[in-house]
Structure formats: structure tokens, C-alpha cells
Copies of this chain bind each other. A is one copy, B any other.
Amino acid sequence: MKLLIKNAIILTVNQHNEVLENADIALEDGRIQAIGKVPENFQADKVIDATDQIALPGLVNAHTHIPMSLFRNYADDLPFWPWLMEKIKPAEDHLNAEHVYWGAKLGIIELIQSGVSCFSDMYFYMDEVATVVKESGIRACLSGVLLEVDDLGPTFMKAAIDFHDSWHGKADGRIKAFFGPHSMYLCGPEYLRETTEEALKRKTGIHIHLSESRQEVADSLEKYGKSPVQHLADLGMFECRTAAAHCVHVSTEDIELLEKHKVSVLNNPTSNMKLANGFAPIHAMLKKGINVALGTDGSASNNNVNLFEEMHLAALVNKAVTEDAESVPAQQVLRMATINGAKALGLENEIGSLEVGKRADLILLDATKPHYFPRHNPVSSIVYSAQAADVSTVLVNGKVLMENYELKTMDVAETMREAERMAFDLVNRATL
């Protein structure tokens, strides 16, 4: 299949952050064959006219729990503990595979509609999420969660290993499997060591929550005499490619450790603010050279998976916190949402920028709407003016998943209906 996208404004997000106007992209066998000027003899099977549209790499949502779409708008304006223990956990205790299947489906529809071509997930029943990834055509890095609660540690370990070995590299290579130890407070040191070993053995990565709340840090200092970051470093986890979500409460020493061990930080501004955890010092991490990617977290603490909102927030929050308007400019935020996400998942040679040889994961935004005018600066318009609803077209691996706002691989009406049925069923069970 040869596809030609014509006349776009292209934000390449390559190392020079090149912006091309009136430019074309040629795609063949799922990869970018040419960009800018396409050879005249390129015989396309399909042509997409992208006049007045902005083309950019598909966004990477680097931290989410996609089936938690079931809990959207279910438990808001609550402190972390009652939110988790009185609302979310009682419902999750009744989760089954069918709930997760439909929750994942609803969440993945939302991801595609808002321009995400690749996401990194951690949750229960990960086979179901993988099944929806396979069906939908999206790309994902999936981590079966590992927890040491109720003596279930070994069960989760076996499930995570099985999940990796069944799914890693599957769905035309669109699925990558990481290991997902939940956190240093729900997994003991031996369990984290064992998880690291299993990941290293398989040459894959680890996806973990890290230093999300003040409480986590205080407990770690009391229990281990060191910060959560230092604790994981000492356990040897960072010998593995590690993608650490949150890192809100980190010291200067923690930031140095993260940099030294090339840990990627997954920043989730909405979730951190909504659960009142605070502001991650992203500006300091970026200055230090840490790879910072963006995520939405789950819809229970957001309450959507709209990465445009996270881009907007990442730019704004850091300016306000540092009282420096030049901090974290638009172009840097765009990199966080694309190539930095790819790096966090070890996919930087495949996706995250529009360059010859890379996978054809790209999106088009309809820049003919009033909030794109006057057209002074397309990069600013993406970070400061755009809405997720402006995403008109999404391609993954050269396959069209959405064209002119129409989803090609998923039944939206059926999914909304079934996911709602599943959610109400869960809530009913939890409150019986």
C-alpha cells in the first residue's frame, strides 16, 4: 500500500524541529519513504489532500490505565485515600475481563480521536487491552501490573511473564510488553529485584509509579532511610530501561540519580494537580537532560485521555511555578508529547518524529478553524490554541485508523453503550 499526503504544514519534530510548508509525505509498507518533496514517479494507491492541515507525529501518551475510562467522572474532588479506598478500589475488586475489554475499547477510541498513535499502559487483565490494541490498529507498550497484595505477588508475576511472552512483538509489531511493578510501596524489595531480573532477561523495560505523593516519600524515608528513587537505584532496577510515572516529589539528588541512570520521567500534570499531589519539577529535569514524556494517567484522575490538555498544562504550569515565561516553550512541549514519549518506550528509532525510514504514525489537524487564525506560528497553535477535537486523521503503521473524523476500525456507538453498561455493573456490585 502506497499512500501520499499532499500540501500539509509538517511539524517534523526531527532533531532540528524542522517545519515544512506545502509539503508532501510518501508512505509505503507502513514506513515514511519521502518527506517534503516526493519523487514524481511515486505511484500512490491513495492520496490524502492535507491542504491547510497540520501534520505531526502521532502523539505518545506515555502513562495511562486505559480501562479506567469506566471510572470517568465517578469519583471527583476527593483526597487520594478516600478516592482510592472508598471509590476506586471497591469497584476494581469486582473487575473481570469483560469490564476491562470494554473499558479499553472506550479509552482507545478516545485516544485515536485525540491524536494518540501510541500509548503506554499498566493495568489488570492486560490480555484484554492487548486484544483491543490488535483489533484497533493503535500501537502500545503494555505492562501487566505487578502487586504484592493479599499474597497475590506470585500470581501477578506469572501473569506478567505470560503476558510478555505471549504478546511482545505481536499485532504486526505494534505491541511491546514491559513489566509493570506498581510502585515501591505496593511491591517489596525482593519482588522488585525479581521483576527487574525478569525484565532484563527479556531485554525489555519497566513501567512504574515513582514519588507521586509526599506520603510515598515520607514512608520510604521512614522504612528504608532513603527516597523512593534512591531505593529503586540501590535495588538495581535502573539497569533496566525504566519509565517512571510522576516523580512529583523528587530532591536534587533524586534528579541527579534519574539522569545518571537514564530513567525517563512520565509527567502527568492533570492527575498530579487533580489528586492534589502538586507540580513535578519538569523544568529542572529537562535542564538536567532527563528525557521527560507526557501522559494523562487514567480517566479516574483526569477525566479523559486528552494529551492536548497535558501539552497545554506542561507549558503553563512550569512557567508559573518557576515564574519564568521562557521555561518549557511550546517546541519543547511538542517534543515531550512525541519523540520523548517514543524514547521512554525504547521506540525512538521507529516513531516519535516524521523522518524517512520511520514508521508512518502520524496525525493531521484541521487548521481551518477560527482558533488557528491568524497563522503566526503552527507550533504555538498546537500547544496553546488547539483542541483534541481538531484531529481529523490518524495513521498508525501506514494504516488509516481515522480519516476526516471517521473511525475506521472501531464501532463507537456499540462501545459507548457496552462500556457504560460495564461501568454501571461495576458500581452496582461495589455498592451492594
A residues near B (Cβ < 8 Å) are 69-74, 76-80, 83, 106, 109-110, 113, 214, 269-270, 272-279, 299, 302-304, 306, 309, 312-313, 315-317, 319-320, 322-327, 329-330, 368, 370-371, 373-377, 380-381, 384-385, 387-390, 412, 415-416, 419-420, 422-424, 427
Complex Cα gap A330–B73 (Å): 10
Is B304 touching A371 in the complex (CB atoms < 8 A)?
yes
Q: Which residue of B lies closest to A371 (CB)?
A: B304
Among B214, B373, B387, B422, point to the contact of A306 (Cβ < 8 A).
B387
A76-B329, A326-B78, A385-B73 known; A374-B424 Cβ under 8 A:
yes
Residues of B within 8 Å of A317, CB to CB, are 273
> Which chain B residue shows the least CB distance to A420?
B374
A319 → B minimal CB distance (Å):
5
Contacts of A110 in B (CB 8 A): 370-371
- Bound Cα distance from A106 to B374, whole angstroms: 9
**Given A303-B380, A371-B110, A419-B373, CB of A78 within 8 Å of CB of B325:** yes
Contact with A304, one of B71, B76, B385, B388 (Cβ below 8 angstroms): B385
Counting from the closest, the 3 A-B pairs by CB-CB distance are A389-B389, A374-B423, A77-B329
**Contact, CB under 8 Å: B373 / A326:** no
Q: How far is the CA of A75 from the CA of B262 in the complex (A)?
A: 34
Q: Is the interface of A mostly helix, strand, loop or mixed?
A: helix
Nearest CB of B to A53, in Å: 15
User: Nearest CB to that of A302 among chain B residues?
Assistant: B384
Copies in the complex: 2
Complex Cα distance, B114 from A390, in Å, reads 13
Whether the Cβ atoms of B371 and A74 lie closer than 8 Å is no
Cβ-defined partner of A326 (8 Å) among B79, B415, B423: B79
CB pair B376–A74 under 8 Å, yes or no, is yes
Chain B min CB distance to A427 (Å):
8
CA distance A384 to B415 in the complex (A): 21
Whether the Cβ atoms of B423 and A276 lie closer than 8 Å is no
Could you pull out 19 A-B pairs where Cβ atoms are within 8 angstroms? Answer: A72-B373, A73-B377, A74-B374, A76-B330, A77-B315, A78-B326, A80-B325, A106-B370, A110-B371, A214-B323, A270-B316, A274-B325, A276-B324, A302-B384, A306-B371, A313-B316, A370-B415, A374-B419, A376-B427
How far apart are the CA atoms of A416 and B371 in the complex, in Å? 9
Residues of B near A423 (CB, < 8 A) are 374, 376
- Could you tell me the distance between the alpha carbons of A91 and B20 in the complex, rounded to whole angstroms? 27
Q: B412 near A279 (CB under 8 angstroms)? A: no
A326 — which chain B residues lie within 8 A by C-beta? Answer: 77-79
| Least CB separation from A327: chain B residue | B276
- In the bound complex, how far is the Cα of B278 from the Cα of A324, in angstroms? 9
